[in-house]
Structure 1
Amino acid sequence: MEDPSYKEQFVPLFSLSEPNQSAVIAKDEVLIKDKNGNDLLSGNAEFRLDFLPKPQIHVYITNKKELNDSEKKGLYSLHDNILSGNLFELVLKNSGNQFEGFVINSDLFNHNGPSLTFTSSSEPIVGLGDEDTQMQYVIFHLFNFREICANNGRYCEDVRIEADNWVIEIKSLAKSESNFKKLKKEGGYGSTHIVCLQQIDSTFFSGKEAIEMLNMLQYFFSFANGAWCNPIYAVGFNSTGRVWESWSSPRGPSFSRSESWFDEHHSEQLENLFPGFMNHWVDEDWNDTIQKAIYWYLIANNSPIDAGIILTQTALERLSFEYAVLKRKLISADSFTRLKASDKFKLLFSSLELSIDISKDLPEFEKMAKAMKWDDATHGMSEIRNSLVHPNPKNKGRFKSVYYDTWKLGQWYLELSLLKLCGYSETYCNRLNPGWISQVEIVPWKK
């Protein structure tokens, strides 16, 4: 049974104005320590989500109090550590939580008092609570996610996905429409959705479980988006209010509509994929492979075409080994390593009921296939990849006309392979034959 109190918090949790504008996410008093645990300086801190020169959480610390002799000594030690490029420990007064950071800007001897700007050595920063903290639900934000519509193309307030006693509700922000217009025009980063994560039966879950679910959702939303889309500013609640906070900045590229299997006018695609995706995510035998494949998929989807070709086929080889060798045991590991790349692809695609015929939707690739007498799509894909990794002077510049088709074909195979492995059997957006938004077709293995 759902806890109705979460509806009161299902609103933006920090002040969000226009896209690309800095936002304060927390204020606290912070103690700066050196790597040996010695106190150096304390001050009032403002944690901001900044977007220039790239998205990052910055900690702005000031101390306008008159320093005593001990504090002055710490200030000089802080100065020496900054010159040495050392990391520091930052301790939050209210929660006692701490994290490592380094100084990116400082003015220690200003007559108004010392000021510094830190950035964390890693994100997310857990600013409140810990792995054992118990909570009933988590609210977080998505930046640059797709402009999700209901099945008929109407804007929907909520999209609900469920799996394994977890329910996730995705809500478009009231300002999303104006944000999308600005993002499409100028690029950059803007908050587009808020999301609520909780158990279907409203049971409590821990900070550790929240972190694991947020990491999984990062990959799920990113796979749908075609670009990184990680949870931002996640806050855990129970009946007393906020008990856990995890701060992070957008990981993805500046706003653009990256190609993807997901069509934003068909939100049911998210609902249908999520159970199978989560089943594979929690499977220890599959978790690392799914992460690696999506990681390479996302980089390939937002990189120069030649690099994308190589990364896509790396992901396909990894999936082929995991599925054909380890899962289905169709061939031994030793035999697999002796296969040509094209045969590794054939092994995967035939097992997943994906055609290896050369598609007429790729005219340049089809023309080159006839000229080069390629047997099938896998033959051509591997030939193009080999020409990039092991170039032959005789073929210099010969295959440039088919780079885009080869990249597109590889990403299509990678999307469909991941969908099939997750047990998905519904509609998708076919990047080989793209139409208008909302034009989808059934996956090949269900035709």
Structure 2
Amino acid sequence: MLVHWLNVPAFRSPHRIDDGAAEYSGRWTADLGAWAVVLDRGVDHREVYREITAAGSIAVTHVMEIRRRDGLTFTPRDVDPVLDALHLGMSFALGRWVAPVLPVGFDRNGARVWEQWAARRCDPGAPGAPRWWFHQHEWEPAELLDLLVIRVDEPELRFTARFLMAGAVLSAAGGFCEQRIMTAVAALEHLTWTTLVKRGSISKSAYEKLEPTSERLARLLDAASIDGTLDSSACPNLAAFAHEQPAGERSGPRILHKVRNMIVHPTSDGHALYERFDGLVTEAWLLAHHYLVLLVLHDLGYRGSVQKILRPGGWEGDVEAVPWVS
């Protein structure tokens, strides 16, 4: 199968491509479960991507070949979960929707026997968004996608994998910060329920009795060795807001849920949200997205590195190991 990719930026793809007219570095390969994929960057990628960014448009930037690693034939239904996983995983890594489209299937003789014209979601242009993946680490999307293909291929796990990935992408960019907070917190709640009740040892009634409700999130952060304290250098407004709360209610999960509740159940004119602590809502969004990205990666079993979403300033490429393996 060949599939076209829309709006994917250039990232380290060390293998050489020779299309007869030119030879250049731009091929990325990965083994994803039972599947082998080869992603080629277009020879005119620089010009195409510049136009995409300037015009806020959509265009084909890459072409991917998908085969079974054992060389056997497959049906469109067999490969559909793989396309889903690729769509979700690449978008999650980039912090915005990119899309595999117009797949074309060939038989053993190279004859075209199938094609699909259905659309998948893709963001026009190249909007900026917090991105946990450093584009020079080309092996890390391979690890992520390998784990995700397994999840999406399992009917029992498919819905949760799709919901969490989509929530993480949507909370990274698009809409107002308040909307991003709602999306991220909904995905976090889905993950806490799935982890503690569906796959864990807590009953539904015990889960509902956990007070405060932020304790559910705190348990997942502890299990993943993710620091739940507020860093005043990264979140100065959240930290200042937390300082006004009782001593036992100043953790990151507690403050995130408090800000979320102030948005959903307002009891005042929003003075604290938008005036006394300038940037409070923006920092709450970044904190929610930070928690969601790390917990999704932990849930998948990812063991690579990440760029910190909350770091104030710094250089692209300042990566660190995920906390559960460091």
- Bin the TM-score by the shorter chain: 0.7 to 0.9
Give the aligned partner of residue 139 of structure 1: 2
3-state secondary structure, aligned to 2:58: coil
Amino acid at match of 2:79: A
* Structure 1 runs not aligned, ≥5 long: 1-137
The separation in 1 between residues aligned to 2:142 and 2:84, in whole angstroms, is: 18
* Structure 2 counterparts to residues 147-296 of structure 1, below 5 A: 147-150=10-13, 156-238=25-107, 239-249=109-119, 251-255=121-125, 256-296=127-167
Offset at residue 352 of structure 1 (A): 2.1
The separation in 2 between residues aligned to 1:240 and 1:427, in whole angstroms, is: 40
Give the aligned partner of residue 19 of structure 2: none
Q: 1:436 to 1:247 in 2, by over 3 A?
A: farther
Give the aligned partner of residue 420 of structure 1: 298
3-state secondary structure, aligned to 1:399: helix
Contact 1:143 1:250 in 2 (8 A): no
Offset at residue 292 of structure 1 (A): 1.0
Amino acid at match of 2:229: D
Contact 1:231 1:248 in 2 (8 A): no
The separation in 1 between residues aligned to 2:270 and 2:176, in whole angstroms, is: 18
Contact 1:142 1:231 in 2 (8 A): yes
Offset at residue 367 of structure 1 (A): 1.7
The separation in 2 between residues aligned to 1:282 and 1:212, in whole angstroms, is: 6
Q: CA RMSD in A?
A: 1.9
Contact 1:269 1:428 in 2 (8 A): no
Q: Tell whether 2:322 aligns with 1:443.
A: yes
Q: 1:430 to 1:240 in 2, by over 3 A?
A: same
The separation in 1 between residues aligned to 2:134 and 2:144, in whole angstroms, is: 13
Q: Tell whether 2:244 aligns with 1:371.
A: yes
Overall identity of the aligned pairs, in %? 21
Q: Runs of 4+ in structure 1 displaced over 6 angstroms? A: none
3-state secondary structure, aligned to 1:273: helix
3-state secondary structure, aligned to 1:445: coil
Output the TM-score relative to the length of structure 2. Answer: 0.88
Amino acid at match of 2:4: H
The separation in 1 between residues aligned to 2:13 and 2:64, in whole angstroms, is: 16
The separation in 1 between residues aligned to 2:103 and 2:179, in whole angstroms, is: 33
Amino acid at match of 1:230: A
* Structure 2 counterparts to residues 335-354 of structure 1, below 5 A: 335-339=206-210, 340-354=212-226
**Which has a greater percent of helix?**
2
The separation in 1 between residues aligned to 2:102 and 2:306, in whole angstroms, is: 30
The separation in 2 between residues aligned to 1:368 and 1:150, in whole angstroms, is: 44
Contact 2:7 2:58 in 1 (8 A): yes
Q: Choose which of 273, 298, 306 in structure 2 pairs with 1:399.
A: 273
Offset at residue 253 of structure 1 (A): 2.2
Contact 1:161 1:168 in 2 (8 A): yes
Q: Which structure is larger by alpha-carbon Rg, 1 or 2?
A: 1
3-state secondary structure, aligned to 1:444: coil
Offset at residue 156 of structure 1 (A): 4.4
The separation in 2 between residues aligned to 1:273 and 1:296, in whole angstroms, is: 17
Q: Choose which of 310, 313, 318 in structure 2 pairs with 1:432.
A: 310
* Structure 2 counterparts to residues 378-393 of structure 1, below 5 A: 378-393=253-268
Higher mean alpha-carbon deviation, 417-426 vs 376-385, is at 417-426
The separation in 2 between residues aligned to 1:193 and 1:399, in whole angstroms, is: 43
Output the TM-score relative to the length of structure 1. Answer: 0.65
Contact 1:352 1:417 in 2 (8 A): yes
The separation in 1 between residues aligned to 2:25 and 2:187, in whole angstroms, is: 34
* Structure 2 runs not aligned, ≥5 long: 15-23
